[in-house]
Amino acid sequence: MRVSASSSGGKRSPLPFPRLAVFLLGTAIFALAPVSATRADQADEGWPMHGRTPLEERFSPLSQIDRNTVHDLGLAWSYMTGSDRGLEATPLVIEGILYATASWSVVFALDAKTGQEIWRFDPEVPRWKARHACCGVVNRGVAFAKGRVYVGTIDGRLIALDAKTGTPVWSTRTTEIGLPYTITGAPRIVKNLVIIGNGGAEFGVRGYFSAYDIDDGKLVWRFYTVPGSKEGPHEHPELVAAARTWPRDSLWEAGLGGTVWDSMAYDPELDLLYVGTGNSSVYDREKRSPGGGDNLYLASILALRPETGELVWYYQTTPGEEWDYTATQHMILADLDWNGSTRKVLLQAPKNGFFYVLDRVTGELLGAKNFVHTSWASRVDLTTGRPVKRPEAHWSKKDAMVSPAPPGAHNWHPMSFHPGLGLVYIPTTESVYSYLSSSDFRFRPGLWNTGEDFPRLHEELEDFGAIRYLPCGLTRLVAWDPIRQEKAWEVLHRTGVPGGTLATGGNLVFQGIGEGLFAAFDAANGQRLWTSRVGIDIMAPPVTYQIDGEQYIAVLAGVGGSHGNHQTRFEHDNAGRVLAWKLGGKATMPPVRRRPIRKVARPPLDVPPETIRRGREVYAEVCFTCHGMGLEGSGVYPDLRTASARTHDQWDAIVRGGIRTHKGMPSFADVVSAEDARAIQAYVLDRAWHEPGILERMLGVVVDHACIPVSWMTD
Ligand code: CA
């Protein structure tokens, strides 16, 4: 553990902010009150929790910055996070202090008026854990209560820090470190509990989330999202019902998935905690759950009593999930006029492409319409509450091209809700993907275990003439009307970066839009009103707050991990930063360094073609989930084709010896033999000399032709 306090200490604004309890009360009341577009009271000035309120609308009533003033926005300050991997955190702003996280679960506190660092805490996560992170060593932020900041770390700890100093108060282990669990989500505080889940379903884990005592970190309850066996004994009664939806010969050793890696919301009035659960492990349904079954509680929304973890209702978005269609996406609690009466609803736009409106008191499905092209299901039947699946989308026995792709129609990038306009602003992606079942699958603990035939997929991808995968897709900002269940407006972005969104009382929507840009849109009609050239891409959701009468917009910039494939990274570095703007801001945008163009450092190895083929096969099985299809690097991992002479000299020591573990490249000696390591090297050099990367070619298509038309996709 390491804590450092800035030498300068940082000037704090002497703000007479109310304490957290008042924040909670104030924001909860606000959520039920009409929007005041003129003057925000004090409780509205901060960003005290992940979605700003427990209802997670990600709407702030602050209105100093509006369509008339937004052109005067200038940078107020910047802070370099010292990281070059993906940044996904929502900053919290409490009593003038901004708390956020960078990659490797590092936490920092800044003066929210100046950007001056107050403290920084590095939990010193063992770097080998990068092997267990499907989508980068990212972190989506902290929770705050009782003068403490709470963070989940990539190696599975939940840590409480003193908010003034960053010193640990308590730390508890929430997952077994040797198992491929990770924590990337932000904890949530409900009453006297800290709630945290975890991820890892791609590798084969059993999903659960836990509640810890806020004062000492002791476990209060744990809810498993899938059963551990058919017969039990089951840890809690909800699993008895779940076990009925799994065949006896299910692949229990794979853990079955259902991880809770991101979304939660809380309704203080109903006293219900809402949790979204993740995809299956393994994806391939016949391998996982032979003969079918709904497989509860995969891809579900759960409503629970926070004090006991008792399940009150559930809704499964994708019964028998087999396409990586998590329901871990952001949930918003709102009150809507629904056919003449006010309904308390829960809104979610999960990966599967349908926008769900649920009665959050009972779990009744009120509406579900697709917001992107969806080929796995034609519609959702409101009578049964179930999707009407297309038989040809099942891929266990026959290859299938399906929309959306595993990254989803909407991933973790938060959406936002403007209660006055009644619109939800969703970062969406159109995509399609080849699901190819592996004929010789066996569960391999700790490795990628989706049941897909990656060597065959990789081979298919190398034939770019038959382009069948669209990882960047068509990225849009969609304003969705949840009552009419249709798009109110949409904006098409040129590159595949779905940034999180923020809606404000100034009737603006803020979003990172790719190409190194950050923009403000008119929340009513989508007109782009203001653009800032940041230089690197933004995935994280912006927040807003007000100090000494000035409104700020703040966001973390830096890409990598899931959706880490961004055009700008080919040209620029990815030095992470926090940026804050205000009206009349005069600070200088931190520069972005151009990347030197690297040359291939070695001639191809003199090996027979079988060795290169073998290298491709092992690469597809072990390396490509991080290093990318076509070797171009996945986001921020190095482009192996331009590996240096030194890297080639040390190839075996890196791949098998683990000499770059400290950089997040652990040893793979347990799964890659010396001969195979050499074959991978031969494959890499062969590709380096003979082919540009798939992604580069694909981005060329996207940029040159303003994305591939939707009509190209299969139905
Ligand atoms: Ca997943």
For the structural domain made of 59-85+468-595, what CATH number should be given?
Answer: 2.40.128
Q: Measured between alpha carbons, how far is residue 182 from residues 89, 133, 248, 374, 673 in Å?
A: 16, 6, 28, 30, 27
CA of 327 to the centre of ligand 1 (A): 10
Phi/psi of residue 449, each to 5°? -125, 70
Return the pLDDT at 510: 98
Q: Could you tell me the pLDDT band of residue 562, with boundaries at 50, 70 and 90?
A: low
CA of 561 to the centre of ligand 1 (A): 12
CA of 393 to the centre of ligand 1 (A): 18
How crowded is the C-beta side of 142, counted as CA atoms within 13 Å?
A: 31
Return the pLDDT at 625: 79
Cα separation, 510 vs 499, whole angstroms = 9
CA of 472 to the centre of ligand 1 (A): 17
Cα separation, 144 vs 23, whole angstroms = 11
CA of 387 to the centre of ligand 1 (A): 20
All CATH 1.10.760.10 domain ranges of the chain, comma separated, are 609-714
Beta bridge partners of 48: none
**Out of 76-80, 446-450, 705-709, least confident range:** 705-709
Return the pLDDT at 636: 57
pLDDT at 186 exceeding the cut of 80? yes
CA of 325 to the centre of ligand 1 (A): 7
Q: Is 510 exposed, middle or buried (0-12, 13-18, 19+ CB in 10 A)?
A: buried
Q: Report the phi/psi class of residue 486: left, alpha or beta, with left for phi > 0 and alpha for psi in -120 to 50.
A: beta
CA of 292 to the centre of ligand 1 (A): 20
All CATH 2.40.128 domain ranges of the chain, comma separated, are 59-85+468-595
CA of 262 to the centre of ligand 1 (A): 11
Considering the segment(s) 609-714 as one domain, its CATH architecture is Orthogonal Bundle (1.10)
CA of 326 to the centre of ligand 1 (A): 6
**Per-residue pLDDT tens over the stretch 477-536:** 999 999 999 999 999 887 766 899 999 999 999 999 988 899 999 999 999 999 999 998
Phi/psi of residue 559, each to 5°? -115, 170
CA of 562 to the centre of ligand 1 (A): 10
| Set 111, 155, 324, 639: catalytic member | 324
pLDDT at 471 exceeding the cut of 60? no
More reliable by pLDDT, 456 or 190: 190
Global pTM?
A: 0.90
% of the chain residues with pLDDT over 90:
74
> 87, 542 in Cβ contact below 8 A?
no
> 400, 435 in Cβ contact below 8 A?
yes
CA of 135 to the centre of ligand 1 (A): 9
CA of 541 to the centre of ligand 1 (A): 20
CA of 435 to the centre of ligand 1 (A): 14
pLDDT at 341 exceeding the cut of 90? yes
Return the pLDDT at 261: 98
Return the pLDDT at 705: 31
Q: Which residues surround ligand 1, an ion (CB under 5 A)?
A: 279, 324
Return the pLDDT at 431: 81
**Per-residue pLDDT tens over the stretch 196-254:** 999 999 999 999 999 999 999 999 999 999 999 999 999 999 999 999 999 999 999 99
Cα separation, 96 vs 99, whole angstroms = 10
- Annotation says 324 is catalytic: yes
pLDDT at 29 exceeding the cut of 80? no
Q: Is 392 exposed, middle or buried (0-12, 13-18, 19+ CB in 10 A)?
A: middle
CA of 54 to the centre of ligand 1 (A): 25
Q: Could you tell me the pLDDT band of residue 703, with boundaries at 50, 70 and 90?
A: very low
Beta bridge partners of 579: 78, 555
Q: Measured between alpha carbons, how far is residue 437 from residues 401, 433, 447 in Å?
A: 12, 13, 17
**Per-residue pLDDT tens over the stretch 263-303:** 999 999 999 999 999 999 999 999 999 999 999 999 999 99
Q: Could you tell me the pLDDT band of residue 679, with boundaries at 50, 70 and 90?
A: very high
Q: If you average pLDDT over every residue of the chain, what do you get?
A: 88
Residue 429, classed as helix, strand or coil, is strand
